[in-house]
Amino acid sequence: MPVYSADAIVIRSREYGESDRLITLFSREKGKIEAVAKGVRKPKSTQRGGTQLFTYADFLLYRGKTLDTVSQAQPKENFIHLWDDFDRTIAASGITELLDVSTIKEQPEPEAFTLTLSFLFLLKHLDPYIAQASYSLRLMHLLGYLPALDRCAECGRDLKGEQAFLSAEAGGLLCAACKNNRPVKTLNPGSLAIMGQLLGAELKILDRLRWNKKTKEEILGCLCIYCEEKFERKLQAWRQGSELWT
Ligand SMILES: [Zn+2]
């Protein structure tokens, strides 16, 4: 059986069979990988720590016919801070969930890997929802899913200083005239300006960014609906989070 190694983050983990876990990894080399971690739910399993959600580890995997199997997991970072605080757990879950739904298996996306790892570290001190929103805008941009944030997708009108409406169906932002009767959420000018900073500011200055409750709700709410429509999947962690940020 061919064996391969992967420098990867556990982005999803669910119970499988009697004592196994089915884990989704996002690796630097191969992108997304699904694998079974056998026996890791047994109390004495030595691989328990390496296969927990958010863990960054060196993996050794066996290639299988349908599913690969984890042979070894050597943790490099367990991101304990993500489990200490519920908001951080939810934001990190939102980050890994979006990475999972927006990528396909075994397509290398090394920049998305680096971005994800950076944000899991940034969640140590950054406002968790600023981190989630900033990560999501950057990931969408990187993968080519982010529309222009300064003009109407239909008529091209400059939206600076105006209300805008984000629509996956229209493929971007709409002005008030082009919105018609579409049931889309409003983004006020202040929110659009903050989105520009969340996307473009240097990572080291993100902790200086401030937003109020209304802006937070608008940005995260619009991003959630946009991504759900774009990828035709319900974002469970985002929905759970919405109870905290609304
Ligand atoms: Zn328009």
Question: Model confidence over 124-147: pLDDT tens digits?
Answer: 999 999 999 999 999 999 999 998
Q: Which of 113, 146, 112, 169 is nearest to 223 (CA)?
A: 146
Q: What is d(CA 48, CA 46) in angstroms, rounded to the nearest whole number? A: 6
Report the domain count for the chain.
2
Q: Which residues are placed with Cβ below 5 angstroms of ligand 1, an ion?
A: 152, 154-155, 157, 175, 178
Helix (H, G, I), strand (E, B) or coil at 13: strand
- Ligand 1 centroid to Cα of residue 180, in Å, is 10
Assess whether pLDDT exceeds 80 at residue 1.
no
What integer is the mean pLDDT of 82-104? 96
Average pLDDT, the chain: 94
The Å distance, Cα 181 to ligand 1 centre, comes to 13
**Beta bridge partner(s), residue 56:** 9, 77
- Same domain for 184 and 105? yes
61 and 96 in a single domain? The answer is no
Range of the domain at 88: 81-245
Q: Are residues 43 and 101 in the same domain?
A: no
**Buried-exposed string 78-103: b where 16+ CB fall within 10 A, e elsewhere:** ebebbeeeeebbbbbbbbbbbbbebb
- What beta strand segments (E) does the chain contain? 3-16, 20-27, 31-37, 56-62, 68-77, 164-167, 172-174, 186-187
Task: Please indicate, yes or no, whether residues 28 and 130 belong to a single structural domain of this protein.
Answer: no
The closest alpha carbon to 154, from 135, 130, 133, 171, belongs to: 171
Same domain for 108 and 187? yes
**Of 32, 62, 77, which residue constitutes the final position of a domain?**
77
**Cα(158) to centroid of ligand 1, in Å?**
9
Q: Are residues 86 and 69 in the same domain?
A: no
Q: Please give the share of the chain, as a percent, with pLDDT higher than 90.
A: 84
Final residue in a domain of this structure, among 50, 77, 104: 77
**Which of these three, 56, 77, 98, is where a domain ends?**
77
Q: What is the CA radius of gyration of the chain?
A: 19
pLDDT of residue 66: 86
pTM: 0.95
CA 216 to ligand 1 centroid distance, Å = 24
